[in-house]
Amino acid sequence: MKNVLGIINLHENEELLKEMTRQRPLGAVPFGGRFRLIDFILSNMVNSGINAVGIVAKQQYRTLMDHLRSGKEWDLDRKRDGLFLLPSEHVHYSNSIYKGDLEHFHNQIDFFKKCSQDYVLIACSHIIYNLNFKEAYQSHLESRADITILYKEEQPRPGKSFSLATLVSVGDDGWVTDMEVKLGRITKGKIGLEAYIMSKELLLQIIEDCVARGEFDLTKEGIIKNIHRYKIRGFPFRGYMATINSIYDYYRASMELLNRDVRQELFNESGPIYTKVKDEAPANYREYAAVSNSLVANGCIIEGRVENSLLFRSVRVHKGAHIKNSIIMQKGEIGVNAALENVICDKDVTITDGKRLSGARNYVMVIEKGMVV
């Protein structure tokens, strides 16, 4: 897939995850014990043989840049091609109002024009899955479609729903007949992965056509409005996927990782998921550690009880502490005899000795980054 430029579009709806995205873009939200959301799409692209990836990053770059740096962990520190961070220009105009992702694409149009690839794969970071895009790309070329949209057909399952999903209507012949961005939650249907394959030429045309008409939304105005103008093909994905658009989604997708099949599909299916390494020592279980049904990252020191939970790197669980149905991000410290249930602790949170906190299963409590409770 050397002829494809990967574009990760970080213009994502962060409204329902404010507690976690105040200081970072959605793509940099930690996930699965040691990853950040962007690792999944980035690794998929690299595992598919894409050598050039542009990241359309809106504001709050620090966390993201700290994570990606030269792209070495994803093998993207290349002389030719590699990783490109594409910051938005509009923030420099003090009185400018955010209009939409296409304005940002337009700002960076020189980059797209200059790159040598003839095709682009535009994808987002908040839908996670493990997929080699080769087949989808082949099918795109063979079907002579203008655009190929990847989707996953979801059957209703208890507790599982999708917010802000793109619903795709695909005919029996594989051509897309309609598409809409749902405002509420849906439980089933052909849900778009918000991943599109098209020629670079078409992308440039969409950008210019839209911006010239004062339209700035790639999905709604660039694609949906033109649904009958272009030949749009649907490409079904059959593996595990999760969309992370809200705290509830985040919590649910995290808890799904406790399922072995989900982990297998998400972490191993068509290639490993790469992330920045931290050189932590292995997790250390002490005398009174009691851990069950949990994922534990390196660098943790555990002296207490952990049940149905995820511990990120370097979490410290002191004696008598009890963590249940919770997610503790990097460097969390849970004090002696503290008890947490249905809680998400963002990075560097300290829960002092004896504190008891609990959220509800359908409304988890989120403790923001760096808080001492």
Partner 1 sequence: MRAKEWVAMILAGGQGSRLGVLTDTLAKPAVPFGGKYRLIDFSLSNCSNSGIDTVGVLTQYRPLELHSYIGIGIPWDLDRNAGGVFILPPFGKTNGGEWYTGTANAIYQNAGFIDQYSPQYVLVLSGDHIYKMDYSLMLKFHKEAGADATIAANEVSWKETSRFGIMNTDPDGCIVEFEEKPREPKNNLASMGVYIFTWDVLKTYLQQDNQNRKSAHDFGKNVIPAMFKNGLKMMAYGFNGYWKDVGTIESLWEANMDLLSDAPELDLYDADWRIFSVNPTSPPHFVAPSGKVKRSLVSVGCLIFGEVENSVLFAGVEIEPGASVHDSVVMSGAKIGAGAYVEKAIIGPKAVIEENCQIGAVTAQHGSDAKISVVGQQVTIPANTIVPVGAIVDQLGVLLQASKGREKG
Binding site for partner 1 (CB under 8 A): 32-35, 72, 257-258, 260, 263, 267, 272-275, 277, 279-287, 289-299, 301, 310-312, 314
Least distance between partner 1 and beta carbon 57 (Å): 24
Pairwise CA distance, residues 108 & 29, whole Å = 25
Least distance between partner 1 and beta carbon 298 (Å): 6
Distance of CA 268 to the CA centre of its chain: 17
Nearest one of 64, 29, 59, 56 to 218, comparing CA atoms? 56
Report the residue number, 198 or 289, with the smaller CB distance to partner 1: 289
Report the residue number, 176 or 283, with the smaller CB distance to partner 1: 283
Pairwise CA distance, residues 343 & 355, whole Å = 13
Pairwise CA distance, residues 198 & 140, whole Å = 8
Pairwise CA distance, residues 296 & 302, whole Å = 10
Specify the DSSP class assigned to residue 160: B
Amino acid at 229: R
Q: CA of 351: how far to CAs of 115, 233, 318, in Å? A: 49, 51, 10
Report the residue number, 122 or 295, with the smaller CB distance to partner 1: 295
Least distance between partner 1 and beta carbon 358 (Å): 21
Pairwise CA distance, residues 294 & 306, whole Å = 7
Report the residue number, 284 or 362, with the smaller CB distance to partner 1: 284
Report the residue number, 69 or 213, with the smaller CB distance to partner 1: 69
Residues 128 and 37: beta-carbon distance below 8 Å = yes
Q: CA of 326: how far to CAs of 110, 348, 370, in Å? A: 45, 15, 17
Report the residue number, 54 or 304, with the smaller CB distance to partner 1: 304
Least distance between partner 1 and beta carbon 272 (Å): 4
Least distance between partner 1 and beta carbon 265 (Å): 12
Report the residue number, 198 or 273, with the smaller CB distance to partner 1: 273
Residues 352 and 336: beta-carbon distance below 8 Å = no
Pairwise CA distance, residues 153 & 162, whole Å = 12
Least distance between partner 1 and beta carbon 251 (Å): 17
Least distance between partner 1 and beta carbon 348 (Å): 13
Sheet holding 343-345, edge to edge: 310-311, 327-328, 343-345, 365-367
Amino acid at 20: M
Report the residue number, 290 or 371, with the smaller CB distance to partner 1: 290
Least distance between partner 1 and beta carbon 253 (Å): 14
